[in-house]
């Protein structure tokens, strides 16, 4: 079946299952949003557009990457950047995209500054294993466990929604000096399960930090191991990165999450300026699943329930966001609104599409990330 994606996302012209095509489109959208400098380098160096000013990713297909390049005279031109070898799977497509970045670098040489993707790649080599241990666990709600980790002092402190990769009960090989997050690619997931989690809080003086872990049954290799961990359990940690990075001019934050991003939203609230305004739309199973959030005047929290439905299966968040936009006086000044949040991947796609179509918010005013995938 050929994957089809919403019009606002890049097109994926490959014979892929629909959910994989949608995820790939979202990945391309993310690259366009978060790494425009890298796409611009590719357009300039490989698309014969040395004067390109801006670039949009239109889509990807067997023939390569399709771009719309904005030129100095204000016009837009379609540009096709062919892949060097034929690709079929998502993994091969991502590999080919990285190949384009390397080829573009080969053309421009080292005189041009590193692009954001190249800088992240280099930074990954320096993200070596931090050997932490669990020091405490506290149940915040029936399906939300706060895990405190000790030994985090070597992790860079970025604030906001900083996140890490956690690997409970790590094998010896990842603990050897110099083992980096890039080396994880050589270790199958089944052999050493790991997943991304957000630091709800860091206490640099003690080297401790908390994670709010969603308990979702036994099928999750990482979450079930973390849930079973007790004081002293070893956890390998790599990080940190953060994606919360509002553009200039933001006056009100619209923070949207299911349980997986409650920790991220709480951490972002902690870091807001005292006069910043925020509206939180947070989804939980029911009223019993709501942990305390850092609320103060100028911060409005709107909880939405799934009413017994499985996580990631209802439009509860979308409905909650639409209601907040219609009703909250804090969101009346749309020009200053920045939407940030995360949750189930398809639900985030649905929300992103609606926000772009219904509110006219600019692309850089909406940062919604898929944290987990109900289709897996
Ligand atoms: C940047 C980032 C930050 C994140 N921060 C957090 C965080 O702070 N707290 C947190 O709990 N999660 C967080 N997540 C999500 C977490 O990484 C995923 O839930 C991950 O899939 C858990 O791995 P696992 O091995 O337990 O389950 P997997 O092996 O990945 O999945 C097993 C099964 O469980 C289902 N599943 C996975 N996650 C959930 C869920 N949350 N609810 C219901 N079903 C689920 C899958 O659909 C699959 O069927 C974050 C993800 C990212 C990308």
Q: Which of 241, 260, 287 is the last residue of a domain?
A: 241
Question: For the chain, what is the mean pLDDT?
Answer: 93
* Full DSSP string of 92-146: HHHHHHHHHHHHHHHHH-TTSPPPHHHHHHHHHHH-B-EEEEEEEEEEEETTEEE
Q: Is residue 3 part of a domain?
A: no
**169 alpha carbon – ligand 1 mean position (Å):** 18
Length of the chain (residues):
376
The residue whose C-alpha atom lies closest to atom 4 belonging to ligand 1 is 197
Rounded to whole angstroms, how far apart are CA atoms 213 and 145?
5
Q: Which of 104, 123, 142 is the last residue of a domain?
A: 123
Q: Is residue 44 part of a domain?
A: yes
pLDDT in tens, 201-225: 999 999 999 999 999 999 899 999 9
Rounded to whole angstroms, how far apart are CA atoms 265 and 293?
9
Q: Which of 101, 123, 145 is the last residue of a domain?
A: 123
On whether the CB atoms of residues 256 and 281 are closer than 8 A, the answer is yes
pLDDT of residue 4: 34
Mean pLDDT of 245-255: 94
Q: Enumerate residues 6+ apart whose C-beta is below 8 A from 241.
A: 158, 162, 163
Judge if 132 and 220 occupy the same domain.
yes
Q: Is residue 307 part of a domain?
A: yes
Mean pLDDT of 132-151: 98
The set of protein residues with a Cβ atom below 6 angstroms from ligand 1 is: 163, 193, 195-198, 211-214, 216, 219-223, 260, 263, 311, 371-374, 376
How many helices (H) and strands (E) would you count in the chain?
Answer: 8, 15
Q: Which range marks the domain in which residue 360 is found?
A: 252-372
Judge if 135 and 227 occupy the same domain.
yes
Judge if 205 and 259 occupy the same domain.
no
**303 alpha carbon – ligand 1 mean position (Å):** 21
pLDDT in tens, 2-45: 333 334 689 999 999 988 898 899 889 889 888 999 999 999 99
Instruction: Report how many domains make up the chain.
Output: 3
CATH of the domain at 300: 3.40.50.80
Q: Is residue 48 part of a domain?
A: yes
pLDDT of residue 363: 83
pLDDT of residue 7: 44
CATH of the domain at 93: 3.20.180.10
pLDDT in tens, 119-137: 999 999 899 999 999 999 9
Task: Using the predicted structure, report yes or no on whether residue 142 has a pLDDT greater than 60.
Answer: yes
Judge if 156 and 83 occupy the same domain.
no
Judge if 47 and 91 occupy the same domain.
yes
Rounded to whole angstroms, how far apart are CA atoms 41 and 347?
32
pLDDT band at 190 (very low <50, low <70, confident <90, very high): very high
Judge if 258 and 366 occupy the same domain.
yes
Judge if 265 and 225 occupy the same domain.
no
Burial code (b: 16+ CB inside 10 Å, e: under 16) for 156-183 equals eeeebbbbbbbbbebeeebeeeebebeb
Q: Which of 371, 372, 376 to mutate to test the pocket of ligand 1 (most atoms within 8 A of CB)?
A: 372
The residue whose C-alpha atom lies closest to atom 28 belonging to ligand 1 is 220
């Amino acid at each position: 079946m050929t994957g089809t994606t919403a019009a606002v996302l890049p097109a994926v012209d490959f014979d892929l299952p629909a959910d994989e095509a949608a995820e790939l489109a979202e990945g391309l959208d993310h690259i366009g949003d978060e790494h425009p400098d890298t796409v611009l380098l590719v357009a300039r160096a490989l698309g014969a557009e040395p004067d390109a000013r801006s670039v949009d990713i239109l889509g990807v297909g067997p023939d390569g990457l399709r771009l719309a390049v904005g030129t100095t005279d204000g016009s837009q031109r379609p540009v096709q950047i062919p892949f060097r070898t034929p690709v079929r799977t998502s993994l091969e497509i991502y590999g080919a995209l990285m190949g384009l970045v390397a080829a573009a670098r080969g053309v421009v040489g080292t005189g041009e500054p590193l692009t954001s993707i190249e800088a992240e790649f280099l930074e990954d080599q320096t993200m070596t294993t931090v050997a932490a241990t669990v020091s405490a666990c506290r149940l915040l709600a029936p399906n939300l466990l706060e895990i405190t980790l000790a030994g985090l002092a070597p992790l860079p402190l970025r604030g906001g929604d900083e996140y890490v990769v956690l690997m409970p009960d790590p094998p010896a090989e990842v603990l050897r000096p110099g083992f980096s997050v890039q080396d994880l690619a050589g270790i199958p997931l089944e052999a050493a399960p790991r997943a991304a989690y957000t630091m709800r809080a860091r206490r640099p003086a003690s080297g401790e930090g908390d994670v709010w872990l969603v308990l979702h049954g036994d099928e999750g290799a990482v979450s079930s191991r973390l849930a079973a961990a007790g004081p002293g359990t070893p956890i390998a940690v790599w990080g940190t990165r953060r994606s919360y990075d509002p553009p200039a001019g933001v006056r009100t934050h619209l923070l949207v999450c299911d349980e997986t991003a409650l920790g991220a939203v709480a951490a972002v609230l902690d870091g807001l300026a005292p006069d910043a305004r925020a509206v939180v739309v947070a989804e939980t199973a029911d009223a019993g699943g709501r942990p305390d959030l850092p609320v103060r005047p100028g911060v409005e929290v709107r909880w939405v329930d799934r009413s017994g439905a499985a996580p990631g299966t209802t439009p509860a968040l979308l409905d909650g966001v639409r209601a907040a936009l219609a009703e909250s006086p804090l969101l009346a000044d749309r020009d200053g609104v920045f939407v940030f949040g995360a949750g189930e991947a398809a639900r985030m796609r649905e929300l992103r599409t609606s926000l772009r179509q219904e509110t006219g918010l600019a692309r850089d005013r909406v940062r919604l990330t898929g944290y987990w995938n109900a289709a897996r």
